[in-house]
Amino acid sequence: MPSGGRHEPVSKMVGSSGSETRGVSRVYMRPFTSSAVLSLALLVSAAPTTATAAERTGCAASDIRDLPELVVEEYPLVRCSDDSQTSVRFPEWLPDSIEKRRRRWRWDSPLSCNLDKIDSALARFGYRLRRRQSRLGSVPPCDLLKGDSVIMARLTDIGGFMVDQHSGRFLFTASGVDHMEPPYGSYWLFLDGNPQPWEPWAHDYWPPLLLDGSLVTFETEAEGGGHERVIVKQGSQVIYAGSTRWGVCCSPIDRLESDGVNWVLEYADTVVVNGVNLNRQLGHDAVFCYRILHGWPLYLFTRDNKVRMFYGSAELPYSYDDVKRGWGCEAELLSPDGNDHMVWFYARRDGWWYYVEAGVYK
């Protein structure tokens, strides 16, 4: 039985002053001290299957001395023998004190879907969002303006905002309240502020990305036998294609994102960075929960029937018998998730299920 008991940390971390810090199971301290920011383009630069730590991150040893401290917290939830048909209740078993502990970082919305951050970013290009009044509890529609001129009024569902760092172009998607057309309504892609019709259902409802000034889009095609082909295109050129089993009630894709320099696709325990399949590149059966935390990669992977964690420049001393993940309903509710600050997931080890958080809390 974990020494802390249910909802208690497995162990305690001793802070720099020597005092105990409750709630932290273990901590991975940064082993180096420099100021380089990770380039994902280097991450996939033909590293062999037996890649060194530096090759797996794309950073030379002298480039990773400023690796931020990663805090990993594990909370025992329930014995596996008590878990029959009840894993969907895992979130209910977490006390408020655990949920509140990292709320500030967990609910920090990314730029892509945060209206305040989008409005601030648009100001660089001479555009702004003007919010309208809305009914109680609803998200207000916005007008897109350039200077004092209205480009389009009453936009909702604004998201997918990004700036291509190579070309300086920007894009986002939105729905047009005043331009509704059956059966799907009106959807728009704004490229450099210029609206053009957008058909989200043709792209599995994933917004496009920008890479070197051109659009990167996602599509699926039926392959038969319960599988479908996942395709990423830059313009009309296919830059990645793979296969996965058919998603009956939801998209087979977990993430399709870009940091403005590189793009990441995650689906079915597979991670693709800039068109390179990391599973094949690194020799892992599964790679998932891939995030960039303040410039440094963190991901989970399987080896020798164990789920392990990689961060920055090295594999961490954590392993699990299993991590809850999958598509649809309960599986998707309990699948790993994260943002630019942290990741969280449910893991099984030595007969117990744990709730785990790993983050860089600047």
Residue pointed to by tokens 């440094």 = 296
Q: Which pLDDT belongs to residue 321?
A: 97
Q: Which pLDDT belongs to residue 249?
A: 60
In a domain, 127, yes or no: yes
In a domain, 73, yes or no: no
Other C-beta atoms closer than 10 Å to the C-beta of 182 total: 5
Spans in the chain with pLDDT lower than 50: 9-62, 182-184
Q: Based on the domain organization, do 133 and 171 belong to the same domain?
A: yes
- Structural domains of the chain, count: 2
In a domain, 77, yes or no: no
Q: Amino acid letter at 191? A: L
Last residue of a domain, one of 264, 283, 302: 283
pLDDT tens-digit readout, 94-143: 888 888 899 999 988 777 778 899 999 999 999 999 998 876 556 788 99
Q: Based on the domain organization, do 114 and 190 belong to the same domain?
A: yes
Contact partners, residue 54, CB within 8 Å, separation at least 6: 60, 61, 64, 313
Q: Which pLDDT belongs to residue 182?
A: 44
Last residue of a domain, one of 198, 225, 250: 198
Q: Based on the domain organization, do 224 and 152 belong to the same domain?
A: no
| Residue 255 belongs to domain spanning | 209-283
Q: Based on the domain organization, do 113 and 179 belong to the same domain?
A: yes
Q: Based on the domain organization, do 189 and 126 belong to the same domain?
A: yes
Last residue of a domain, one of 198, 223, 251: 198
- Paired strand residues for 6: none
Q: Based on the domain organization, do 161 and 180 belong to the same domain?
A: yes
In a domain, 100, yes or no: no
C-alpha distances (whole Å) from 66 to each of 35, 295, 329, 358 are 5, 10, 40, 18
Evaluate the CA torsion angle 198, 202, 203, 205 in order and state its sign: positive
Q: Amino acid letter at 149? A: S
Q: Based on the domain organization, do 171 and 216 belong to the same domain?
A: no
In a domain, 243, yes or no: yes
Q: Based on the domain organization, do 135 and 193 belong to the same domain?
A: yes
C-alpha distances (whole Å) from 245 to each of 94, 206, 239, 253 are 33, 18, 20, 11
Q: Which pLDDT belongs to residue 330?
A: 65
pTM over 0.85: no
Q: Based on the domain organization, do 162 and 213 belong to the same domain?
A: no
In a domain, 116, yes or no: yes
In a domain, 226, yes or no: yes
Q: Based on the domain organization, do 271 and 251 belong to the same domain?
A: yes
Q: Based on the domain organization, do 186 and 214 belong to the same domain?
A: no
Q: Based on the domain organization, do 230 and 190 belong to the same domain?
A: no
pLDDT tens-digit readout, 144-195: 999 999 999 989 889 999 999 999 999 999 988 665 554 445 899 999 999 9
Q: What's the rounded Cα separation, in Å, for the pair 154 and 178? A: 7
Helix (H), strand (E) at residue 97: helix 96-101
- First vs last Cα of the chain: how many Å apart? 33
In a domain, 248, yes or no: yes
Q: Exposed, middle or buried by CB within 10 Å (0-12, 13-18, 19+), for 39?
A: middle
Are 233 and 214 within 8 A, CB to CB?
Answer: no
